[in-house]
Structure 1
């Protein structure tokens, strides 16, 4: 993983740092994580870092296109390593669990909108909000 991540950082014009490698590693383990969750996991793994440093690294990685940033309703921004397939998300309104939903038409941008003349749609973000299977079971 580290060798691949080292190459990815370099390919995207980012300096290879322990902080960036550690954050990428945690996002591999914790898909859909927010900065606070990544920070807690890093500290638990013995990394001495601040929440602000994690925010900075996540911002750099998102700007470089190495991670995807999305904002579920009533939630902090989340980050994931699954990129370039224009998938969507299902968010549980009770527990906040986030699950991936594959592209509904099989190819990006997954939706066909009436965009303004001359505007080319590259991606579409859809968030399905409902109740996850676990929460539905505990409600009955």
Structure 2
């Protein structure tokens, strides 16, 4: 990942300790919930951990999502999850049992992967696909 301060400024955002802490908390932990991000920031014991309320965290997540520095996915029945992987055309596999989520590269490559039957005047630039099933650990035939 590019240096956080430079990355934030390139998107017109101030480089605050809270924003840098959220980016750091997502590094290596894709598909994290806000609670998981909050716990990682708290465990890090940085300046941001003492001054970041739950509402503040959601404000930072909104700012970073709006600037397209992070991506939010919202699988049915799951809290919103955040990841650093943005700007590419990837999708997700989700386990119905344990909730594991894995990235899947798009077979087509260019966005959008699918076109609707009718676009109703929309200029479509992205398709979000989630495949649901059971992961290898949860499948009954692998127990």
TM over 0.5: same fold? yes
Partner residue of 1:98? 101
TM-score by structure 1 length? Answer: 0.91
Aligned partner of 1:68 among 67, 71, 74: 71
Partner residue of 2:114? 111
TM-score by structure 2 length? Answer: 0.89
Write the distance in 2 (CA, Å) between the matches of 1:80 and 1:122: 19
Superposition pairs of residues 1-140 of structure 1, within 5 angstroms: 4-46=3-45, 47-48=49-50, 49-116=52-119, 118-136=121-139, 140=143
Write the distance in 1 (CA, Å) between the matches of 2:85 and 2:54: 23
Structure 1's consecutive aligned runs of 4 or more residues displaced over 4 angstroms after TM superposition are: none
| Count, aligned residues | 139
**TM-superposed deviation, 1:134:** 1.6
Q: CA RMSD in A?
A: 1.7
